[in-house]
Amino acid sequence: MIYGSNDERRKHIQNRIDGKKELVKYFPVVKKVVQQFDGKVYNCKLDKALKEATTDEQHPYGAVYCHIAYGGWIEIVAHGCNHGMSESVSILYIAKSDLKDGKRIDAAQWLEHINNNYAGLMKEISGLEHDLETIDDTLKQIEMLKKQIKTLVEPLSWTTRDAYGISRITV
């Protein structure tokens, strides 16, 4: 939970949206690099190429990195910082066992996963933007429901409320 005013909460969500939007630009870059590695053996050269392709003033060491996650998964992650908030997104998360011949990159398969993650990120951004548009009405409806619940529960004794867990209904 973010403590502060409604405006501070809205600003927090907007910063998260902006941070996620900033990371969207790395998807085409990663796709291009992955296509260059089609059929090649997966190794540290891919990570080096991704770092070089995403190095800029804001990210002198590259904004995208590739690594083996949890021993059996290959992960490509984009990382950024917006208004002091760190944001990262998984561009690719694929089983190491899915490598062609156990060691080669299948660009078509990887691009399918990257496109799915891109669609998921865009859906998340869209959902957060929708939340910002509707949060004021939602909060008003929640307050109205709280008042209705309080009115419903008021005539019940504390013994009955406790027995049914009604005393712990909170929103």
Same-domain status, 35 and 114: yes
Q: pTM for the full model? A: 0.84
Task: Assess if residue 99 is contained within a domain.
Answer: yes
Same-domain status, 36 and 86: yes
pLDDT for 126: 98
Residue located via tokens 């405006």: 7
39-80 pLDDT tens trace: 999 999 999 999 999 998 777 778 999 988 877 899 999 998
131-146 as b/e, with b when 16 or more CB fall inside 10 Å?
eeeeeeeeeeeeeeee
- d(C-alpha 22, C-alpha 40), whole Å: 30
Same-domain status, 24 and 88: yes
pLDDT for 170: 62
Number of domains in the chain: 2
DSSP 55-96: --SS-TT-SEEEEEETTTEEEEEEEEEETTEEEEEEEEEEEG
Q: Which domain holds residue 108?
A: 6-131
Q: Which amino acid is at 167?
A: S
Which H or E run includes 140?
Answer: helix 107-153
Same-domain status, 21 and 72: yes
